[in-house]
Amino acid sequence: MLDKLARKPNDKPCNTIDTLIGVSTDMKGDIAFSGGLRIDGKLKGNITARADDNSTLVLSENAVVTGDVSVPHMIVNGKIKGNVRSIERLELQAKAEITGDVTYKVLEIAAGAQLNGTMTRINEKADVVSLKSVDSGRGDTEKTRTVD
């Protein structure tokens, strides 16, 4: 039980910004990075980080990303038009807008954040979490469904 409480090195997000894409920058192309990346501008392309490290992506309220994003730790206050995968922690701040499917381990959503797509939580073994239906009081039997 106590080993579940122990934090792995990649559970802690990177606390430095190694790369900054400024507010007046328009980029096209994919980005692969490790460490800390902050985007204040616009990007058309996919963003990926090594899954085995503590890479962190910060999107400011001015940021617009059109493409898929796969980063262990994310703080989003801008717009993403694409699928999002966070194997550690995803924080959606008040001005965040995501249009696409979201896969996450830990999720924090502030009031005002918008998400249009499906949400799938991954657990330690990266299995899909199954849901149980609630008894409606109409004599329905309990069923188990898997979220796709």
Give the separation between CA 35 and CA 64, rounded to whole angstroms: 20
Per-residue pLDDT at 16 exceeds 50 = yes
Mean pLDDT of the chain: 83
pLDDT for the residue numbered 137: 60
DSSP class of residue 25 equals -
Give the separation between CA 77 and CA 87, rounded to whole angstroms: 19
Give the separation between CA 126 and CA 31, rounded to whole angstroms: 25
List pLDDT tens digits, range 133-148.
565 565 554 444 444 4
**Confidence grade of residue 15 (pLDDT, cut at 50, 70, 90):** confident
Mean pLDDT of 91-95: 98
List pLDDT tens digits, range 118-135.
999 998 654 444 455 565
pLDDT for the residue numbered 139: 56
DSSP per-residue codes, 91-140: EE-TT-EEES-EEEEEEEE-TT-EEES-EEEB-TT-PBPEEEPPP-SSSP
Backbone angles phi, psi at 136, to 5 degrees: -85, -5
List pLDDT tens digits, range 94-121.
999 999 999 999 999 999 999 999 999 9
**Confidence grade of residue 6 (pLDDT, cut at 50, 70, 90):** very low
The reported pTM is 0.75
List pLDDT tens digits, range 39-65.
999 999 999 997 567 899 999 999 999
pLDDT for the residue numbered 143: 46
